[in-house]
Amino acid sequence: MSLKWPSKDPDETVDYSMDWSRYLNNQATIDTVTWFVNDSSNVKTNFNTTNQIVNDLQFIAKTNTNTVATINLARGTVNNKYTLFCQILDTSGTIAERSVTLPIKEN
């Protein structure tokens, strides 16, 4: 089951975040974050290059704190639902991944 973010208008450039605080143990924090998105063939594609566009969804930037991973997105096709994946490597060496759905709607 994937999480779902609020819909995005294709004209917006918006931050979306994933909070990992409930997953991380007391000593571990986020070390690195990698984002992926499904391409038009439903293939999971690395989505980490500034201004990269996959299926008309544009990666702008990513940031993270010790517990929260954030991605900044632009564009997108109206009535399309994108599946994004957030993969973290924590300071204990554990790799974890969660998926999230992002619907695109005219607001």
Per-residue pLDDT of the chain (107 residues; tens, 9 = 90+): 568 999 999 999 999 999 999 999 878 999 999 999 998 889 999 999 999 999 999 999 999 999 999 999 999 999 999 999 999 999 999 999 999 999 999 98
Chain-centroid distance, C-alpha 63:
11
Work out the number of other CB atoms within 10 angstroms of the CB of residue 64.
19
Question: Is residue 18 within 8 Å of 3, Cβ to Cβ?
Answer: yes
Q: What is the pTM of this model?
A: 0.94
